[in-house]
């Protein structure tokens, strides 16, 4: 998977140990931009060199052409715990909310697209 441009960090804990490192969060006020990849994924930019791929629980029809994409609720952070939602305005249909299930750091948008493409058969 190294060719996909994933970033990560090593853990000193055994692979089966539950830990706080399993939870990935980003402060909402650090998000600079949202870039939809189809209707099931979004890349968020939090700094010049830091991006995360958000995977949504279900297909969010209209996301690719949405306006006003944001993290829903008044939470100060978005995490990969299934409690965070993405909201957006769908042209002609109003507001939508979609549950975020994964949050993965990626090198850039191209790496995120390659990762999404590699998982299509899963």
| Domain range annotation of the chain | 25-118
Q: What is residue 40's predicted lDDT score, i.e. its pLDDT? A: 94
CA 98 – CA 77 distance, rounded (Å): 16
The DSSP result for 4-67, as a single string, is GTB-----SS-TT---GGG--EEEGGG--EEEEETTTEEEEE-SSS-EEEEEESS--TTGGG-E
To the question of pTM greater than 0.85 for the whole model, the response is no
**Which two structure tokens, joined as six digits, stand for 89?**
């305005």
**Which two structure tokens, joined as six digits, stand for 72?**
């829903």
pLDDT digits (tens, 9 = 90+) for 36-83: 999 999 999 998 889 999 999 999 988 988 888 999 876 789 998 889
pLDDT digits (tens, 9 = 90+) for 4-45: 443 433 333 333 333 445 888 999 999 999 999 999 999 999
């Amino acid at each position: 998977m190294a060719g996909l441009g994933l970033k990560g960090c090593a853990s000193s804990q055994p692979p089966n140990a539950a830990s706080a490192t399993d939870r990935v969060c980003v402060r909402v006020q650090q998000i600079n931009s949202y870039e939809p990849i189809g209707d099931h994924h979004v890349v968020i930019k939090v700094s010049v060199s830091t991006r995360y791929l958000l995977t949504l629980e279900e297909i969010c029809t209209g996301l690719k052409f949405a306006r006003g994409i944001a993290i829903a609720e008044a939470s100060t952070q978005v995490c990969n715990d299934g409690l965070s939602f993405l909201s957006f305005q769908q042209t002609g249909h109003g507001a939508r909310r979609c549950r975020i299930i994964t949050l993965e750091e990626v090198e850039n948008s191209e790496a995120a697209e390659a990762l999404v493409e590699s998982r299509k058969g899963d």
